[in-house]
Amino acid sequence: MSHLRSRRRLALAVPVVLSLTASLGFLPAAASAAPQAAPATRTADAPKLAYVVNTKVDRHTIASVKKAIAQAGGSVVATYQRIGVIVVHSSNPDFATSIRKARGVQSAGATRTAPLTAAGTKEEGAVEYLTAAQAKRTEAASAKTPESEPLEADQWDLRAIGADKAAQINPGSRKVTVAVIDTGVDDTHPDIAPNFSASQSANCAGGKPDTSEGAWRPYTPEDYHGTHVAGEIAAARNGIGVAGVAPGVKVSSINVTDRANGLFYPESVVCAFVFAADHGVEITNNSYYVDPWLYNCMDDPDQRAVVTAVNRAQLYAQKKGTLNVAAAGNSNHDLDADAIVDDSSPNDTTPAERTIDPHECLDIPTQLPGVVTVSSTGVDNVKSYFSTYGKGVVDVAAPGGDRRYQIPDTPSKDGRILSTMPNGAWGFLQGTSMASPHASGVAALLKSKHPWASPAQLQALLKAQADETACPASYDQDGDGTQDAVCEGGERLNGFYGHGIVNALRAVKWPGPPPRPSARSARTVNELETP
């Protein structure tokens, strides 16, 4: 899939999908800156680009900037006055240069390097289905444990964080919603339908919310990523399929993928954070990075404008009471290193290798202030071989799978994460995409127990309940005599696991009030314009 982080998206591997057996009672359905040329005059075949324009939030400034946008050859797609972000389309190759000179504009930049195109149909990859006999084997193993879901024997991840036991104490509150900002969620899935919140769902592709019926769903069955994530968080304990970490909370879908290429463009993510905040969402899960740049560098005017716009949106959500949780990434990069080689950006045209400083060039939203950054572990509670890490960057770790080095003793013996898929199916995926929803699910349990906790208090709780996990003595996963990654820090805080691996059972048992939020780590975004 083009939009998963196997092209630097945040889930790895082709899914192995479980066909539904008769005993389950269902069957499955089948260049960054715009070139500095001249005039606002446009030729009929000039490419159209999307932009974000960042301004002050007062009405008069925004009105003045809108006039300047029109004069520079732009058309306004959406205006987010409360954060001072305007989404614009323009065919003027000099639009960004022109609008940056307008009174009231603080920053502006193109959100993509490829021109806007009409929506196209994606190719559907082959799906590997398990046989009915294999599925029945898992059901038989699950049946040995009272109150277990039919496929739960393959869910080593729930047991790893005590989520199976936590559900017997507190499965989560219906007053808590986790919004899955992703590729869309199939809310007709029997494991998701009982907990789905349509009133808090939308399609934000292009930067403007569409709340029409079903707009939040995946475009094709191959857009399975968001459905898998949603099931990990809140698949119901209803005697069907699998269970989520917080099976009593609600889940919603905000689809942010471009129809033509499946990418997550900045204007869509801005829309998603604002929509979630304005619709009373308590937690957002963000298992992606904002395209087309894996890292957005603050010395580039376009990339800087993108960071500013997305940061304003996620900070707005925090101020409205929303905790934002994000996946660390699957590149096995050290986000506290002096330098990282990025050979994947921009991913909507032709990538070019560049060396960046991750303190100045940010993976967003995961490196934005106040966002909970989650690394991935396998069944042995060791960092997954693919998981990005970094001291002072990773806040907590959670199960995301590791099919290469950490194999569980389960019926399917699959080191990845089993969850829901479109068209009433189930499948295995691995990635920090799968770790983040485990942390989001635990955060939802904490919010259920402490409904008045602010996002900062909720983050403090998430860190406090985590199981402290020290750096491994050696991280030579392939046994070639070379360390595959270097973990910095002690048992209480380190680059592999942050404050530790989330623990759902401890979360529902937490006795007292939320702890005092600690000072944020050294990871900050410097010199951003304030709205």
Would you tell me the crossing angle of helices 432-449 and 455-465 to the nearest 10 degrees?
110
Q: What is the pLDDT of residue 19?
A: 35
Instruction: Work out the number of other CB atoms within 10 angstroms of the CB of residue 25.
Output: 11
Q: What is the pLDDT of residue 146?
A: 87
Q: What is the pLDDT of residue 218?
A: 97
Q: What is the pLDDT of residue 129?
A: 40
Q: What is the pLDDT of residue 495?
A: 97
Q: What is the pLDDT of residue 337?
A: 97
Helix (DSSP H) and strand (DSSP E) numbers for the chain = 11, 19
Q: What is the pLDDT of residue 519?
A: 53
Q: Give residues with Cβ within 8 angstroms of 160, minimum separation 6.
A: 377, 379, 381, 399, 501
Query: CA–CA separation, 195 vs 440, rounded Å?
Result: 15
Q: What is the pLDDT of residue 62?
A: 97
**Contact assessment for residue 227 and residue 192, using Cβ atoms and an 8 Å cutoff:** yes
Structure token digits, residue 283: 């937690």
Structure token digits, residue 63: 């009105």
Instruction: Work out the number of other CB atoms within 10 angstroms of the CB of residue 301.
Output: 18
Q: Which of 59, 109, 101 is nearest to 84 (CA)?
A: 59
Q: Give residues with Cβ within 8 angstroms of 139, minimum separation 6.
A: 21, 23, 24, 150, 151, 153
Query: CA–CA separation, 288 vs 228, rounded Å?
Result: 13
Phi-psi region of 424 (alpha: psi -120 to 50; beta: other; left: phi over 0): left
Residue 426 DSSP SS3 = strand
531 residues of the chain, pLDDT tens digit each = 333 443 345 666 544 444 333 333 333 333 333 333 333 444 445 689 999 999 999 999 999 999 999 999 999 999 999 999 999 999 999 999 999 999 999 999 999 999 887 544 332 233 334 556 677 888 899 888 988 999 999 999 999 999 999 999 999 999 999 999 999 999 999 999 999 999 999 999 999 999 999 999 999 999 999 999 999 999 999 999 999 999 999 999 999 999 989 999 999 999 999 999 999 999 999 999 999 999 999 999 999 999 999 999 999 999 999 999 999 999 999 999 999 999 999 999 999 999 999 999 999 999 999 999 999 999 999 999 999 999 999 999 999 999 999 999 999 999 999 999 999 999 999 999 999 999 999 999 999 999 999 999 999 999 999 999 999 999 999 999 999 999 999 999 999 999 999 999 999 997 776 677 765 443 445 556 667
